[in-house]
């Protein structure tokens, strides 16, 4: 059930056994600057507060926190296939076809990507920072689902979650050069390029054959909506973390 602690794409309602959601910063117990639903395991927040926040977030979704699978992310493009809950390191995306596992990625400006294949009951979750986006981590996650479980892109449903919005992601040429012109524009007033991470990730799925009406993109920006979401950039690195999750209930 969607509450103040989480936001869900509209297509989540089509699949009763599926959980697909991202957390907000609301409804937790953490104190400033991590107020209030900080779910980041690797922040300087009180560990007991993070634990309580994670339990609250999972409970609102009808899950136990011990069913989560996550990874210490490195802003790369490596994808891991998991068969049990747990914590890994060095991967920015995960896939499984096992029920009872809640895949999770941690975010605070980077793009969360969630994938569901109702035909094979496979799921995927990716943390797409600008490096991961430029290195096609969304594509690599979908292709591992294909190779491991037989998933076809045309059968899949995709959520491109809340991240830094195009009008907020100001970068110099060292970052902009990693993107083609359709995903960046020069803003002479700011003297910066603006990069659209949501479109850059979404187009990867469209090229693979995901139907446009089976993909939903978050309307929010972490920077423009800091009343609702944490933003590493807007809050100068001293802030909490959200997580995006997907899982099939056992």
What pLDDT is attached to residue 2?
Answer: 82
Within-domain flag for 186: yes
Each residue of 67-88: pLDDT tens digit? 999 999 999 999 999 999 999 9
What pLDDT is attached to residue 204?
Answer: 98
Our count of domains for the chain comes to 1
Within-domain flag for 112: yes
Residue 82 · residue 96 · CB < 8 Å: yes
CATH number (domain holding residue 174): 3.60.140.10
Number of Cβ atoms within 10 Å of the Cβ of 143: 16
Could you list the residue range(s) of the whole structural domain that residue 68 is in? 6-248
Whether residue 1 is predicted with pLDDT greater than 80 in this model: the reply is no
Q: Give the pLDDT band of residue 142 (cuts 50, 70, 90).
A: very high
Each residue of 206-235: pLDDT tens digit? 999 999 999 999 999 999 999 999 999 999
Mean pLDDT of the chain: 97
Q: Choose among 115, 119, 123: nearest CA to 99.
A: 123
- Measured in degrees and rounded to the nearest 5, phi and psi for residue 241 equal -135, 145
Whether residue 202 is predicted with pLDDT greater than 80 in this model: the reply is yes
Within-domain flag for 95: yes
- Evaluate if pTM is beyond 0.75: yes
Q: Tokens representing 187? A: 């803003």
Residues in the chain: 250
Residue keyed to tokens 């959520």 = 159
Within-domain flag for 243: yes
CA distance 244 to 229: 12
What pLDDT is attached to residue 216?
Answer: 98
Within-domain flag for 1: no
Q: Give the pLDDT band of residue 136 (cuts 50, 70, 90).
A: very high
Residue 203 · residue 217 · CB < 8 Å: no
Within-domain flag for 107: yes
Whether residue 121 is predicted with pLDDT greater than 90 in this model: the reply is yes
CA distance 179 to 217: 20
**220: which residues sit within 8 A by CB, 6+ positions away?**
7, 162, 165, 228, 229
Rounded-to-10 torsion of CA 139, 142, 145, 147? -50
**Sign of the alpha-carbon dihedral angle for 161, 153, 94, 180:** negative
H or E element in which residue 163 lies? none
In the sheet that holds 6-7, the strands lie side by side as 6-7, 18-23, 242-248, 102-107, 68-72, 86-89
Whether residue 48 is predicted with pLDDT greater than 80 in this model: the reply is yes
CA–CA distance from 149 to each of 14, 121, 136 (Å)? Answer: 22, 9, 20
Q: Give the pLDDT band of residue 132 (cuts 50, 70, 90).
A: very high
CA distance 42 to 92: 15
- Mean local confidence (pLDDT), 9-19: 97
Query: Across the strands, what pairs with 114?
Result: 125, 159
What pLDDT is attached to residue 118?
Answer: 98
- Mean local confidence (pLDDT), 145-151: 98
What pLDDT is attached to residue 39?
Answer: 98
CA distance 244 to 199: 18
Q: Give the pLDDT band of residue 105 (cuts 50, 70, 90).
A: very high
């Amino acid at each position: 059930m969607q509450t103040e602690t989480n936001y869900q794409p509209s297509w989540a309602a089509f699949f009763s056994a599926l959980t697909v959601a991202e957390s907000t910063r609301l409804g937790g117990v953490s104190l400033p600057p991590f107020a209030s639903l900080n779910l980041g395991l690797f922040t300087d927040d009180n560990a007991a507060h993070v634990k309580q926040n994670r339990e609250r977030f999972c409970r609102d979704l009808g899950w136990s926190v011990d069913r989560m699978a996550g990874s210490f992310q490195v802003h790369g493009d490596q994808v891991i296939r998991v068969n049990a809950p747990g914590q890994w390191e060095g991967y920015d995306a995960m896939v499984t076809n096992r029920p009872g596992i809640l895949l999770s990625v941690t975010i605070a400006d980077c793009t969360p990507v969630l994938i569901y294949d109702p035909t094979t009951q496979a799921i995927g979750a990716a943390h797409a920072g600008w490096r991961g986006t430029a290195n096609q981590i969304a594509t690599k996650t979908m292709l591992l689902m294909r190779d491991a479980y037989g998933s076809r892109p045309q059968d899949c449903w995709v959520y491109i979650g809340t991240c830094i919005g195009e009008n907020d992601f100001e970068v110099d040429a060292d970052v902009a050069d990693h993107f083609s012109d359709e995903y960046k524009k020069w803003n002479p007033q700011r003297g910066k390029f603006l990069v659209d991470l949501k479109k850059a990730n979404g187009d990867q799925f469209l090229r693979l054959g995901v139907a446009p009406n089976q993909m939903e993109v978050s309307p929010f920006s972490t920077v423009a909506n800091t009343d609702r979401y944490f933003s590493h950039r807007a809050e100068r690195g001293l802030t909490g973390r959200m997580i995006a999750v997907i899982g099939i209930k056992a």
